[in-house]
Chain A
Amino acid sequence: MSILAYSVVAWLFLIGMYGVVTSRNLIAMVICLSVSQSATDVLILEIGYVHGGSAPVFVDLTRRPGPTVDAIMQALSLTDVVLGAAVSALLLALAIQVEKRTGSLDPDDLRTTHRLPW
C-alpha cells in the first residue's frame, strides 16, 4: 500500500515534468507545471494520513475518539495550494506578456540565439 501511494506522487511529478518538457504552448506548460506541483500536495497529505484517522477538528470528535490525521501536514498543504495558485497566476501573466511581445505562445520562438550547434 505504501508503495502504491508513493508511486502516485512520483508518477504525477514525472508526468507533469514530461508535459513541461514537451508542451509547445506556454499555457499548456503552466498547466503541466501545476500537475507536477500537485504531486507535492498528494505527498504531504499522504505523509500525514493515518489509517482510520479523522480530521483534526475536535468539535465532534469527543463522540468518536480515535486517531486523527497529522494537522501539521494539512497546514502545510494549505500553504502549498496557495503557492501553487500564486505561481500559476504569475506564470500566466508572463505568458500574456510573451504573447504580446513576440506574437507567439510557442516556447521555441523565445530563443534569442540560433547559433547553438544543435
Chain B
Amino acid sequence: MNARARLVVFLLAAVGLACAFGVAFAGIPHFGAPVSAYAAILNHLSEPSRQASDVVSAVSFDFRGVDTLFEEYILFAAVAGISVLLRPLGDETRHLPEDEAPDRRIPPPSPAVGLLAVTMAPVLVVTGLETVTHGQISPGGGFQGGVVLATALFVVYLATTYARVERFEAGSLIEASEGAGAGGYVIVGLIGLVAGSAFLTNVVSLGHSGNLISGGTLPILNATVGLEVAGGFVLLVKEFLDQTEVIRGSGT
C-alpha cells in the first residue's frame, strides 16, 4: 500500500471516528459540570474515615487500591519486558564508544555541568523523598516521588560518563528495590486479610489528618510504590544507556 492509498484509508477512518467522537461527547457531562455523586461521596469520606487530606491519594491507594496494584504491576511488567528486549544477544559484543575511535575521545562534561549536578542531585533526592512521604497530605505520592528520585541518578550521569555511573549504581540493589516495592504492595494488602477484613483494607492506625503519619496504609503503600517506581525508572534508563555500548553483531 503506497503512502497516498494509506492516507486516503486513514482520512476515511478519521472522518468516521470524528463522527463517533461527536456522538460520544454529546452524551458525557458538560465541561465544568458539578462532580459526580461518587466523587462527592469520596470528598466527604476521605478525611473523616481515612484521615487523608489528599483525596486523590486516598482514591488511588485506598478506595481504588486494587487498581493501583495493577497499575504498579503494569509498570513492573513493562520494565521487565524492556530488560528482556534489550538483553545482550549472543552475537552482540560490548564495547565502549571510545574503543571504536581511540583518537576521538568523548570530551568530559564541563565543570559548570558538574557543579550543577552536585547541587541538584541532593535537592532531587530530598524533593523525591518529600513527595513520596507527603502523598497522603498534599499532592504527590509514590509514583511522582519515585520518578523524581530516579532523576537524581540521571543528573549524576549528565555530569560524568556512563561508565562511571555504572560502577556505583549497583544493579542488583536496584532490581531488589524494584522487586521489594512491587511485592511490598501485595504484602500490605495481605495485612488486611490477616486482620480479618478484605484485601487492602486500611487496618493500620489512621493517625490524624494533616500529620505526616496519617491515612493508615496510605504512606506505607506510597513508600512501596516509590521504591518500585524509582527502581523501575533507573533500570529502564540503564537498559537504554547500555545500548550505547553494545556494538552491532556480525549478523547485520
Contacts and interface: CB of A to CB of B under 8 A. Distances in A.
A18 B12 CA distance: 12
Interface residues of B, number: 61
Contacts, number: 155
A48 B39 CA distance: 9
A82 B69 CA distance: 13
- By secondary structure, the A interface counts as helix
A44 to B, nearest CB: 11
A78 interface: yes
B1 A59 contact: no
Interface string B241-252: 001000010001
B185 interface: no
A82 B31 contact: no
Contacts of A10: 18, 21-22, 25
Contact of B85 (A74, A94, A116): A94
Nearest to A118: B1
B173 interface: no
A56 to B, nearest CB: 4
Interface string A8-25: 011001100110011000
Given A71-B55, A97-B85, A49 B39 contact: no
Nearest to A100: B248
Given A48-B35, A55-B139, A93-B85, A118 B55 contact: no
B56 A56 contact: yes
B75 interface: yes
Given A5-B31, A6-B31, A79-B71, A18 B53 contact: no
Contact of B46 (A58, A85, A93): A58
Interface string B64-100: 1001100100110011011001100000100000000
Contacts of A28: none
B31 A1 contact: yes
A97 B18 CA distance: 35
5 closest A-B pairs by beta carbon, nearest first, are A86-B78, A51-B32, A71-B55, A56-B55, A6-B25
Given A93-B82, A97-B86, 9 more contacts: A10-B18, A55-B139, A57-B54, A73-B39, A75-B67, A82-B143, A83-B74, A102-B252, A116-B1
Interface of B: 1-3, 5-7, 10, 14, 17-18, 21-22, 25, 28-36, 38-39, 42-43, 46-47, 53-56, 58-60, 64, 67-68, 71, 74-75, 78-79, 81-82, 85-86, 92, 137-139, 141, 143, 209-210, 236, 239-240, 243, 248, 252
10 contacts: A10-B21, A46-B31, A50-B34, A56-B54, A59-B54, A71-B43, A71-B59, A75-B64, A78-B60, A78-B141
